[in-house]
Structure formats: structure tokens, C-alpha cells
Amino acid sequence: EVQLLESGGSLAQPGGSLRLSCTASGFTFSNYAMIWVRQAPGKGLEWVSVMTARVSGGNAYYADSVKGRFTISRDDSKNTLYLQMNSLRAEDTAVYYCARRPNYHHSSGYYYDYLDYWGQGTLVTVSS
């Protein structure tokens, strides 16, 4: 059974740092791209960051709202995805979800990505 378990969320001060973890089980973690998505209280979903599988280059992509402040990484030996969050702002307050991002090879040759398994989320609150 595929499981994703986020941890590390807590109360942080503006300008502070936190590191979120997402521990995976039930699948070969190293074969998959992984993603962070967040949801501010009462708001919609917002994409934060993606890291591709190492076999696909291990590339990282970021939303403009977090670029330069957040760093995504992965430790395939520990089946764990990380999000290092620095220079935190009040607007970073949200539930942070990790999700698995497989792709589907269509007959056209195009690869479609999607988010098939999600963790339960971890709450980050930035406040003084």
C-alpha cells in the first residue's frame, strides 16, 4: 500500500526556518517525481515545488512565491522528500501536502503527469 507521511510542520516566526519531511512507503520511491502542494486556511490549492526522479535528472522547480527561499530535496536511500523553508512569511501559513507524481505515456508519445497519492498534510503556521 502506497503511503506518504508528512512531518515537520509547526509554529515558526517570520523570517525563521522549518524543514518538512515526507516519508514514503509501498513503492519504489526513487522511480518517481514528487511534489509539494500547499493550502492556506480556507483557500485553494497552490503548487509549491517539484523534484523529478534522479533517473530523469533530479531537477527541481519552484513557484515564484517561494523561489529563493524554499529548497526541495530527496534522499532516495531514506525514501524521503524534504522541503527546506527559509525566510518564512505570514503568507506561507498553510497545510503542506506531498504527493507522488507518476507519468502516463500516451500513444501520441506525450507523457502526462498526475498526482496519484497524497499525504495527509502538515500544518505550518508563521506568526510572531
Partner 1 sequence: AVQMTQSPSSLSASVGDRVTITCRASQGINNDIGWYQQRPGKAPKLLIYAAFTLQTGVPSRFSGSGSGTDFTLTISSLQPEDFATYYCLQDYSYPLTFGGGTKVEIK
Q: Which residues bind partner 1 (CB under 8 A)?
A: 35, 37, 44-47, 50, 61, 63-64, 97, 99, 104, 106, 110, 112-116, 118-121
> What grid cell was written down for 24?
514514503
Whole-angstrom CA distances from 103 to 50, 53, 88 are 13, 11, 32
16 or 61: CB nearest partner 1? 61
**Min separation Cβ 80 and partner 1, Å:** 18
DSSP bridge pairs for 80: 23, 75
As measured in angstroms, the least distance from the Cβ of 92 to partner 1 is 16
Torsions phi, psi of 76, nearest 5?
-65, -25
Q: How far is the CB of 43 from partner 1 (least distance, A)?
A: 9
Closest separation between CB of residue 36 and partner 1, Å? 11
Spell out the residues 6+ positions from residue 84 whose beta carbon is closer than 8 angstroms to its own: 17, 19, 70, 71, 72, 73
Nearest CB to partner 1, comparing residues 41 and 128: 41
Specify the residue, 55 or 64, whose C-beta has the smaller distance to partner 1: 64
